[in-house]
Amino acid sequence: FCSLAGLVVGLSLGQHTNLGWTSALAHGAALGVSAQTGTGFSTLSLTEIDQTSKSLLMASMLIGGSAGSTSGGIKIFRVLIILVLIRVILQRACAPPHAVIEPWLGNRRLEYEDLTRALLLTFLFIAVIFCSWILFLVGGYDPLDALFEVTSATGTVGLSTGITGTELPGWLKGVLCFDMLAGRLEVIALLMVLYPATWRERRTRAQ
């Protein structure tokens, strides 16, 4: 996906900007890799790129890198699990009533816990991004640029369309700080820290 996103971003830059095709493809490849791996480096100002390129970079930041890597995002492994689940649902809908169709990813049979955890984390990631995006819209920012900004923060990437800066209101800086913390801890760990029962259980064990 990283290579595909980089190629499409490069083609989009070549079509919608004054960059030559060689330069556009080079910038597209660099931005695609930077977005999906969480590197955060930009080879040109993101205020100059078109909406299609921004949307593709957002998708790359949301998906993220491989499981176990230092990149942010949902992670490719979880995206593959969700795609397998969709495939199994469609297969079961078309199969005879008593057909047994199990979810497999490669040579591994996916357990119920694998499916629910992938779905839960994906939902929480999208929920954090959506709620933060609404707050930026309340602040009067452009919808696409605001969505790019909160997706970048939640994916702990660092790419920016120019919204993040010293002039950004303090409460929106707080929103981005929360997004980065939630994205780095993959949301669930942060919720466990904030969940009152976690502290009550620890106090009970200590006593």
Q: What is the structure's pLDDT at 206?
A: 53
When divided into structural domains, the chain yields a total of 1
Average pLDDT over residues 50-64: 88
Q: What single DSSP character describes residue 104?
A: E
Higher pLDDT, 182 or 204: 182
Residue 34 included in any domain: yes
pLDDT of residue 86: 93
In whole angstroms, how large is the CA radius of gyration of the chain? 20
Q: Which helix (H) or strand (E) holds 148?
A: helix 143-154
Residue 206 belongs to some domain of the structure: no
**Is the residue at 126 inside a domain?**
yes
Alpha-helical (H) ranges within 64-142 are 76-94, 112-138
Q: What is the pTM for the complete model shown? A: 0.85
For 166, which DSSP code?
A: T
Whether 207 maps to a domain, the answer reads no
Of 10, 7, 5, 2, nearest to 44 (Cα)?
Answer: 10
Assess whether pLDDT exceeds 60 at residue 40: yes
Element (H, E) at 36: helix 21-37
At 109, is the secondary structure helix, strand, or coil? strand
Q: How far apart are CA 171 and CA 103, in angstroms?
A: 44
Whether the per-residue pLDDT at 124 is higher than 80: the answer is: yes
Structural domain contains residue 202: no
Q: What pLDDT, on a 0 to 100 scale, did the predictor assign at position 179?
A: 94
Q: What is the pLDDT of residue 207?
A: 53
In a domain, 164, yes or no: yes
Residue 203, in any domain of the structure: no
- Tell me the residue range of the domain where 96 lies: 2-196
Output the CA–CA distances (angstroms, integers) from residue 184 to 130, 136, 194, in the order listed. 17, 21, 16
Report if residue 201 sits inside a domain: no
- The pLDDT of residue 85: 93
